[in-house]
Structure 1
Amino acid sequence: MSNQFSVPTLYFDGQFIDVLWDNHDNVMKWFEKYFAWNIQRQEGWKVDPRCLQGRMTNTNWGTWLVSYITNSRLPHHFAERGTVESNIRLCFRVSELQKQHSKLMEDGIRVSPIYDGPGRTRYFDFWATTEGIRITLQEDLSLRNDGLLPSWVRVGVSNLQDSIEWYKQYMGMSLVRDEINHGYVLMKLRLNHQEEDSLWIVEQLSDEAYKGKVDGQVQPICWIKNREDFFKYHQYLLDCGIETSEVGGFLIRGMVSFHFYDLDGNRFNISSM
């Protein structure tokens, strides 16, 4: 493909959490209990016509719980369980990090120690429900209530400079703040349905961190508004030698999706209608 191809605008559109079919309602109840999330929309929708059954629950901050039953592995929509953790972290901000950490730990929920991280703030990871769905909480002392607010997505990479250029070229990200001397940079993409941008922390992995392809349960989604651009972008990534899944979903009319992997095996989901 010509080098003159212009990557279409990618809009961050929230996240899928891949949930086992029989655990779907329990996962929603977990988030209701611990973070006061609520059901905003429920659909018996299938991610692909090959699914025998499908369920989607829309909850807070563009989060969709997705479950389906199928007789075959879908090429574009799946998650692995019981393997290494993804180096993509979905972050939410809270005002009282220690309080949240203690509450979860007292209830027997797996949590990491509180640690210093990018953005000169503190974090901890927790593993929600019996499925061990990892999400990250971030301290924000400017918040005036006990609520949970979205933050940035953290992506761990083995070579910061190479990854910055890769994200610029293949995803259209732009640099917001260069903190390479502190082991990270802040980048951005447009945010779907809103005027502001989504923020992405690209951070240097430690030498001992796992580096390789991971298909985690928590999957950030980027949206392409023009359906024709979606298919052109898919072909462009293939032509550039980037590992990219087949397009799945409703190819004639309806939602279509694929995913691809960056230099370190971090997975990015792309959708359109």
Structure 2
Amino acid sequence: MRQKILVLNKNMMLRELLSMNMNVPKLYFDGQMVDVLWDNHEEAIRWYETYMGWEVQQKESWKPDPRCTHGKMTRMNAGTWLISSLSNERLPHHYAERGTVESNIRLCWRVADLQQFHNRCQSDGVRVTELYRGPGETDYFDFWATGEGIRFTAQEDKRIQEGFAPSWLRIGVSDLGKSVQWYRNWLGMDLENDWSKDGYALMSLGLNRRPGDKSLWVLEQLPENAYTGKADGQVQPVCWVAERSDFFNYQTFLLDSGVETSDIGGYVTRGMVSFHLYDPDGNRLNISSM
């Protein structure tokens, strides 16, 4: 009897997982949004040009939501969008909180001479951490870009010829095993490598508009005293849903399943639409479609 019950329970779990996978659309990493205050937009462009050697790829007056009175959108390197807007009301999705706790999401950029860049930041008064060892057995340091103090992370990679190259996203979590399963179940990520003995796991998600290529995400175990809770940081990873109808169905499915999301923002009838969700530790991920 006990064996029969175990078999039934296992079958029920398999059916639940199958149902879940059928309701989670194929997601693709689509770069990152950096929320910039309206009056700081041009200064932010100059900062990234000066310190990281980036170039403006695309620039337009674009409102992320019809409730905005004004909008600016500038695409820099590696799918990084600087977005600023003005509105007379709090928008359901397009916002970031400032002056609160730091997000546990780190957007990493690879550079050949980490110490040289660290020295330059220090000499120019840019806030930085000390160099530290992190995932991948390489050195890192965090730096707070622009006058707003938007945190990015530099990572050493001697193979880089010049400038900065995209790396992976690092996301701090309180329970590594549970978080790996959460990202597999609700975002459809694949587990590339399990280095839980070293405190992290390597996940992957396809890249939008680049068939066969992968984006890499590192889930890393947070220290016991680290803050966990919702954090709407200025650096926001974006996951893309190709089919517009799948986007709306996905948000409904998440809510029905008890996963907290924002209301949908953007151009609901026709155009870009977005919402965000939080992982169990309050890390914010944006979901978009067109």
Structure 2 counterpart of 1:172? 188
Q: Following TM superposition, by how much is the alpha carbon of 1:129 offset from its aligned partner in structure 2, in angstroms?
A: 1.2
Letter in 2 for 1:207: E
Q: Distance in 1 between matches of 2:191 and 2:105?
A: 18
**For 1:116-265, what aligned pairs fall within 5 Å after superposition?**
116-143=133-160, 145-195=161-211, 196-265=213-282
Larger Rg: 2
Unaligned runs of 5+ in 1: none
Runs of 4+ in 1 over 3 A off after TM superposition: 1-6
Structure 1 counterpart of 2:79? 62
Q: Secondary structure of 2:23's match?
A: coil
Q: Secondary structure of 2:56's match?
A: coil
Deviations 1:65-88 (A, max 9, x none): 000000001011110001111000
Higher helix share: 2
Deviations 1:190-231 (A, max 9, x none): 001113100000000001211111000000101000000000
Q: Secondary structure of 2:210's match?
A: coil
Structure 2 counterpart of 1:40? 57
Letter in 2 for 1:94: V
Q: Distance in 2 between matches of 1:21 and 1:3?
A: 40
Q: Secondary structure of 1:39's match?
A: coil
Residues 244 and 29 of structure 1, relative CA distance in 2, 3 Å threshold: same
Tell me, yes or no, if the aligned pair for 2:21 and 2:188 is still in contact at 8 Å: no
Deviations 1:168-209 (A, max 9, x none): 000000100110000000000000111310000000000121
Q: Are 1:7 and 2:24 counterparts?
A: yes
Structure 2 counterpart of 1:30? 47
Q: Following TM superposition, by how much is the alpha carbon of 1:28 offset from its aligned partner in structure 2, in angstroms?
A: 0.2
Residues 141 and 257 of structure 1, relative CA distance in 2, 3 Å threshold: same
Deviations 1:140-180 (A, max 9, x none): 1222x231000000000000000011000000001001100
Aligned residues: percent identity? 58
Q: Following TM superposition, by how much is the alpha carbon of 1:134 offset from its aligned partner in structure 2, in angstroms?
A: 0.2
1:115 to 123, 132, 148: 132
Q: Are 1:17 and 2:34 counterparts?
A: yes
Q: How many residues align?
A: 272
Tell me, yes or no, if the aligned pair for 1:41 and 1:59 is still in contact at 8 Å: yes
> What TM-score does the superposition give when structure 2 sets the normalisation length?
0.92
Structure 1 counterpart of 2:106? 89
Letter in 2 for 1:150: P
Q: Following TM superposition, by how much is the alpha carbon of 1:4 offset from its aligned partner in structure 2, in angstroms?
A: 6.3
Q: Distance in 1 between matches of 2:256 and 2:22?
A: 11
Tell me, yes or no, if the aligned pair for 1:96 and 1:146 is still in contact at 8 Å: no
Give the alignment's Cα RMSD to 1 decimal: 1.1
Moved more, 34-43 or 151-160: 34-43
Q: Following TM superposition, by how much is the alpha carbon of 1:253 offset from its aligned partner in structure 2, in angstroms?
A: 0.4
Q: Distance in 1 between matches of 2:148 and 2:263?
A: 27
Q: Following TM superposition, by how much is the alpha carbon of 1:7 offset from its aligned partner in structure 2, in angstroms?
A: 1.0
Tell me, yes or no, if the aligned pair for 1:125 and 1:137 is still in contact at 8 Å: yes
Q: Secondary structure of 2:22's match?
A: coil
Letter in 2 for 1:230: F
Tell me, yes or no, if the aligned pair for 2:129 and 2:142 is still in contact at 8 Å: yes
Q: Distance in 2 between matches of 1:33 and 1:4?
A: 44
Unaligned runs of 5+ in 2: 1-15
Structure 2 counterpart of 1:98? 115
Q: Distance in 2 between matches of 1:25 and 1:64?
A: 13
